[in-house]
Amino acid sequence: MENKFIVNIIHRPEMVPEYAEKVTGHGKEEDIGRKALLTESLDIFKTQQEIAHKNGLKTTIQMTYASLFNDEAVELAKADHEKYGDEIALSLLGLPCEEFRAKYKTKDFCIWMFSMEDKKAIVDDVFGKFYDRFGFYPESTGSYYMDAELINYIKEKYPMVKCAVATCWEEGPKAYHTCNNSWYTFMDGGPWAPWIPSKQNVHAPAANEAEDSGIVAIPHLSRDLLACYDGNGSNFGTHPQNVLRSMSYDSKTWEYPYLYNLIDQYRDLAKYNNGYAYNMMFVGPGWMNKMGRWEAPYELLLKSYEDGMAYYGQLKKEGKLDDMTMAEFADYYRQKKTLTEPECALWRDILYGSDKQLFWYCDPFMRVCANMDQGGAIVDLRPYAAKLEWPVGIGTKHVTDASYPFLIQEKYRAGYFTHYAGEGTVRSAKLTYKGEEVDLCLCRTKAHFSQEGNTRILTLDPVDIEFYDLTVKLQTKMYFEEGSSNIKIERTILEMSDPTAEVEINEYMVACYGTTEYSEDMSNITLTCTDGTNSKEIKYAYKCREEQMEGATEVISVIPEIETRVSLSCEKKDAVGYIKEGYAFSPMFTLGYTTKLKDKEVFATWLNLAKAN
Amino acid sequence: MAQSGKGKLNYRCPSCFMRDLDIDMFYDKEKKEYHCIRCQYVGTEEDVLEKNELVRFRYKDAMKRFTKFDFD
């Protein structure tokens, strides 16, 4: 199969770039109608367009509200559409301008944060203005984030819209902290690559036609799936000036191989996704400001953009890249992917020299990250099966928090635990023998991807577990069956230094729920052990209680706040299922199974996700 | 003493950058030094540039060109 690597290049004539007025205009009274600012912004847009076209690339021009009042910006868009086939689309970024402020009496600029009433008014205003200027409605739109209610409204009123920029991958508390707790884009927990959002929650892909929102969503930039998970999302993406922001370039030679490695690793993901891979580059004009941006002078900002485009242009000339507009891409994606087909990424560190490797998996039922540097432990888990309705904006419970809640998040809730008291969220296993215990989180390994029918399989290199007088060679395999809403994890004892020995394995999952670092109220959670006939139950009250049951077919947690039912199950009759409540200093719960294993034996457990009724 | 302003570029505090914080510094033209509003870092432009090289220690592979992305 021939691989296809697609890029969407997007530019927006943003007349008042978010950064330009406040950051580079320091020392002046705010004036968003400044002539110099408007002229410079349009000049940057022109420069970006020229660079793309010079490299043989077509773009999607996302008109902003402010630019619709500017005759020159409108004419430029029409001309480039005619000459280069660029798509004229409409962004819901770039709202700020004198006209917007006068009409809406607010400095809010993020569409998802407005009240639903204002969202509708603004959408109608902006789409109407677009129609007045161009004589048609756009097929593509977007913002940093688009909530489900907003997309549903747009799709209902403007059914021709087929594509939208709908989230920034892992832009949440980390971005907030990086900006000294001032950047309120909380949108962790979404897909990193294009997807078809459900009508209930934009982050969660649709599982069937009834859930299909009717658009294809694309992420704002293609981000480093390792660096952005731990660090600032705005440092490590297909945005040349983001790479400068991270300082991961040579300050003397102005070289940044990391940018090309990032693009190439995305290209490489085609082998996990039936021959398809995707990139998105979207640099707002504020990043190419004449006054420079942070340490980078304008010349370096410009050079990095030219180099980035030149690389895409080179790939296109070599037949390794297809440039598409957003609307073209939406048509391609609808034809290429089925709703339940997952997105997979076996991702390696390309920056820090650690050789760490993560596996990201996303389908309509879950988003999962397994960390091979921790023996394949699941370190992030989002239960999309719940299709959680989570309205955001003024007048809702979540004014700014648009993140999809996690059950496991190793950065916000500790992961494999290394501190004094408490526990961290992770799905791993421990082996014990004669009083010694080893967690697989401490077994660094690598994984290999394969596919059998509709099941994606991750096969980890075997690891050696060394006890005082016994060495165990163990292999982990993870199975992701399309549409199953579960993950099967299989541990095989390949070899023991004493073939007659017997070790105990404890398959466990420590979890909680939340969207930030801070704990939520666990009081409504119920934990259950069941064998199908009998059950034992703990209603969470921070009392550190435990229950267990031999022959348990399932150990379950129901979390009403996120409408999620998560469980572990196994088919081994003599395995002991257990549930553990946490306590105030450790507001977690644990689900697990223990059993004995001998040489060559296999133990399989399933992690299951469902919507709690 | 007059108020501080922005320098010729928006230098960030190298000490805060090390803890993933982007904080623009302000320039004191009398003392010819940058200072951080959030932490206690103070330094000349030369010192800022020197520290910016130090913060790159974490990017061991920043200058390496990769041709293989799996471990197969």
A410-461: per-residue pLDDT in tens? 999 999 988 877 789 999 999 999 999 999 999 999 999 999 999 999 999 9
Q: Cα separation of A211 and A200, whole Å?
A: 7
Assign A239 a pLDDT band (cuts: 50, 70, 90): very high
The answer, yes or no, to whether residue A23 has pLDDT greater than 60, is no
B3-37: per-residue pLDDT in tens? 888 777 789 999 999 999 999 999 999 999 999 99
Regarding an ipTM greater than 0.95, the answer is yes
The answer, yes or no, to whether residue A406 has pLDDT greater than 80, is yes
Nearest residue of chain A to residue B64 (CA atoms)? A257
pTM attached to this predicted model: 0.96
A499-544: per-residue pLDDT in tens? 999 999 999 999 999 999 999 999 999 999 999 999 999 999 999 9
Q: Cα separation of A312 and A101, whole Å?
A: 38
**Interface contact flag, A294 B9, Cβ < 8 Å:** yes
What's the pLDDT at B10?
84
- Please provide the DSSP assignment of B21-44 as one string: ---B-EEETTTTEEE-SSS--EE-
What's the pLDDT at A448?
98
- Chain A, residues 347-406, CB within 8 A of chain B, namely 347-355, 357
- Please provide the DSSP assignment of A39-103 as one string: HHHHHHHHHHHHHHHHTT---EEEE-TGGGG-HHHHHHHHHHHHHH--EEEE-SS---SHHHHHH
- Please provide the DSSP assignment of A372-430 as one string: GGGTTEEEEEE-GGG-----BSTTSSBSSB-PPPBSEETTTS-SS--SSSS---EEEEE
- Which residues of chain B lie closer than 8 angstroms to A257, CB-CB? 62-65
Closest CA to A559 of A591, A604, A606, A532: A591
CB-side neighbour CA atoms (13 Å) of A109: 21
The answer, yes or no, to whether residue A554 has pLDDT greater than 60, is yes
What's the pLDDT at B8?
73
In CATH, the number for domain A4-338 is 3.20.20.510
The answer, yes or no, to whether residue A66 has pLDDT greater than 60, is yes
Q: What are the b/e assignments for A261-295, b being 16+ CB within 10 Å?
A: bbbbbbbbbbbbbeebbbbbbbbbbbbbbebbbbb
> What average pLDDT score do residues A314-325 get?
98
A357-384: per-residue pLDDT in tens? 999 999 999 999 999 999 999 999 999 9
Closest-CA distance, B23 to chain A, in angstroms, reads 7
Interchain contact A346–B (C-beta under 8 A): yes
What's the pLDDT at B4?
86
What's the pLDDT at A441?
97
> What average pLDDT score do residues A286-304 get?
91
Q: Cα separation of A372 and A378, whole Å?
A: 9
Choose which CATH entry (3.10.450.40, 2.70.98.90, 3.30.930.10, 3.30.1330.10) describes domain A365-611. 2.70.98.90
> What average pLDDT score do residues A300-322 get?
98
What's chain A's length in residues?
613
Q: How many beta carbons lie within 10 A of that of residue A227, not counting itself? A: 24
Nearest residue of chain A to residue B65 (CA atoms)? A257
Q: Cα separation of A467 and A430, whole Å?
A: 12
Q: Phi/psi of residue A500, each to 5°? A: -95, -5
Domain residue ranges in chain A? 4-338, 365-611
What's chain B's length in residues?
72
Q: What is the DSSP secondary structure assignment for residue A441, as one 8-state letter?
A: G
Between strands A576-583 and A140-142, the pairing is unpaired
Q: Is the dihedral of CA A123, A128, A133, A134 positive or negative?
A: positive
> What average pLDDT score do residues B61-66 get?
98
**Interface contact flag, A178 B22, Cβ < 8 Å:** yes
> What average pLDDT score do residues A105-129 get?
97
A560-602: per-residue pLDDT in tens? 999 999 999 999 999 999 999 999 999 999 999 999 999 999 9
Q: Would A4-338 and A365-611 be classified into the same CATH topology?
A: no
Determine the residue among B4, B22, B27, B65 to mutate to test chain A binding: the one whose Cβ has the most chain A Cβ atoms within 10 Å. B22
Q: What is the mean pLDDT of chain A?
A: 95
At which residue do the structure tokens 């420590």 appear?
A510
